[in-house]
Amino acid sequence: MTTTTSTRKRILTGDRPTGRLHLGHYVGSLRDRVALQYDHDTFIIVADVQALTTNFDRPEGLARDVRQVTLDNLAVGIDPDICTLFVQSLVPAIAELAVLYSMLVTVNVLRHNPTIKTEAAQRGYRDLTYGFLGYPVSQAADITFCRAHLVPVGDDQMPHIELTRKIVRRFNDLYPLPRTGAPVFPVPEGRVGRVGRLVGLDGQAKMSKSLDNCIYLDDTPAEVARKVRRAVTDPARIHASDPGHPEVCTVFAYHQAVNEGFIPELEELCRAGRIGCVACKERLTRAINDLLAPMHERRAPYLARPARIDEVLAEGTRRARAEGEETLGLVREAMRIGYFSLAHAPVPSARVSLDAPAFAHSFVP
Ligand code: TRP
């Protein structure tokens, strides 16, 4: 017998729409969510409000990037018939939960969040906006609005999952449901895949758009070949016959991420100086292009009919809004802030039309 939606565990994961997704996103998170979608009820958030925490001064790019990130998810093999892809800002319950959770988190805890610190330093922020400092609280609302059990992410996200777990425990503790005393939320678990993080082409700690050291999931085979050719390798290696040090080599790290089967042999060849960097890079280019080829194929029909991307988002967002309303109902009940029945009152947010054609589209990838 197949498992039904109600008994399957729930996943919530997603991305900030700040541009095209890259190989680091793929090996860190997308690959796992594709594998997990078949036996989990999977929600994928396009976190546009979170993108605004750093891009509030250029919101005009969001409409394109929301669709770009959705398309990247579809291209890697997320199946819109079994997953719920949705837009964060169109699910009002997420914003409402974030406000309620903000009471349960101190400013000091947020200031010590290592991911916030790294991002702030990378961007040269001297003072932090309330929204940027608080985005991990909003992310706790992303994860819990659908009462998710599992959050597959790259390792940089683990501090946010830890915070979410703290908020959930505190919430459940303070506000058990009346009568039964049951907790509203499961305590969600983070899950980092086999490769939690991918170094940049330049050997920097992380592949990142702002560091301009990425291979994008929609790069052409020629672009991949060109980028891999200039990737940083072991600096101690001058001649192809010099013994190599795979542990310091970017190209080796990429082989580990996308060409696992070749690793034992490659490690031996490299250390013995029996494979040169040029040949090793050619092997890597082939492996990456083999990985990206089916993604290009899955992307093509959406590029031919971009309105289909909006349809996927509109349908997913509709379901996410219903889920959010249900969770918020339980939250109000548990917090004793329901006060009176609103069963017949109009939900103000219902005024946002989610009819796909009205969901303005001008998608130019
Ligand atoms: N912070 C994540 C990133 O930068 C994106 C994100 C937003 C997310 N909300 C989430 C990831 C909830 C997992 C769960 O990639």
Spatial distance between the Cα atoms of 79 and 119, rounded to a whole number of angstroms: 31
Query: What percent of the chain is helix, strand and coil (3-state, nearest 5)?
Result: 55, 5, 35
pLDDT of residue 359: 57
Nearest residue by C-alpha to atom 8 in ligand 1: 14
pLDDT of residue 348: 57
Q: Which of 11, 16, 52 to mutate to test the pocket of ligand 1 (most atoms within 8 A of CB)?
A: 16
pLDDT of residue 341: 76
CA of 200 to the centre of ligand 1 (A): 20
**Cross-strand partners of 83:** 42
Q: Which of 10, 5, 49, 324 is nearest to 191 (CA)?
A: 10
Spatial distance between the Cα atoms of 228 and 246, rounded to a whole number of angstroms: 16
Per-residue pLDDT of the chain (365 residues), as tens digits, is 444 556 899 999 999 999 999 999 999 999 999 999 999 999 999 999 999 999 999 999 999 999 999 999 999 999 999 999 999 999 999 999 999 999 999 999 999 999 999 999 989 999 999 999 999 999 999 999 999 999 999 999 999 999 999 999 999 999 999 999 999 999 999 999 899 889 999 998 789 888 889 999 999 999 999 999 999 999 889 998 999 999 999 999 999 999 999 999 999 999 999 999 999 999 999 999 999 999 999 999 999 999 999 999 999 999 999 999 999 999 999 999 999 876 666 555 555 677 765 555 555 54
Ligand 1 nearest-atom number relative to CA 138: 9
Nearest residue by C-alpha to atom 15 in ligand 1: 15
**Cβ-based neighbours of 20, under 8 Å, separated by 6 or more:** 68, 72, 209, 216, 217, 218
CA of 79 to the centre of ligand 1 (A): 19
Cα 185 to chain centroid distance, Å, stands at: 21
Ligand 1 nearest-atom number relative to CA 160: 1
CA of 14 to the centre of ligand 1 (A): 5
CA of 232 to the centre of ligand 1 (A): 29
DSSP state of 176: P
pTM of the model: 0.92
Provide φ and ψ at 151, rounded to 5°. Answer: -130, 95
Ligand 1 neighbours (beta carbon < 6 A) = 12-16, 45, 47, 50, 139, 142-143, 151, 153, 157
Spatial distance between the Cα atoms of 104 and 109, rounded to a whole number of angstroms: 11
Spatial distance between the Cα atoms of 159 and 315, rounded to a whole number of angstroms: 31
Q: Which long-range contacts (CB under 8 A, 24 or more apart) does 174-177 make?
A: 174/104, 175/331, 175/334, 175/335, 175/336, 176/334, 177/330, 177/333, 177/334
Spatial distance between the Cα atoms of 183 and 172, rounded to a whole number of angstroms: 5
CA of 129 to the centre of ligand 1 (A): 18
pLDDT of residue 340: 85
pLDDT of residue 1: 43
Ligand 1 nearest-atom number relative to CA 47: 7
pLDDT of residue 85: 98
Spatial distance between the Cα atoms of 164 and 158, rounded to a whole number of angstroms: 10
Q: Which long-range contacts (CB under 8 A, 24 or more apart) does 118-121 make?
A: 118/156, 119/54
CA of 229 to the centre of ligand 1 (A): 31
CA of 174 to the centre of ligand 1 (A): 26
CA of 193 to the centre of ligand 1 (A): 15
pLDDT of residue 275: 96
- For 42, other C-beta atoms within 10 Å of its C-beta total 25
Q: Residues 276-303: pLDDT tens digits? A: 999 999 999 999 999 999 999 999 999 9
> Which pairing describes strands 150-153 and 41-46: parallel, antiparallel, or unpaired?
unpaired
**Strands ordered across the beta sheet of 41-46:** 83-87, 41-46, 10-15, 150-153, 189-192
Q: Which of 27, 97, 157 to mutate to test the pocket of ligand 1 (most atoms within 8 A of CB)?
A: 157
Q: Residues 11-42: pLDDT tens digits? A: 999 999 999 999 999 999 999 999 999 999 99
**Cross-strand partners of 43:** 12, 84
pLDDT of residue 3: 46
pLDDT of residue 69: 98
Q: Under a CB-based contact definition with an 8 Å cutoff, are residues 254 and 203 in contact?
A: no
Q: Per-residue DSSP letters for 272-330?
A: TT-S-HHHHHHHHHHHHHHHHHHHHHHHHHHHH-THHHHHHHHHHHHHHHHHHHHHHHH
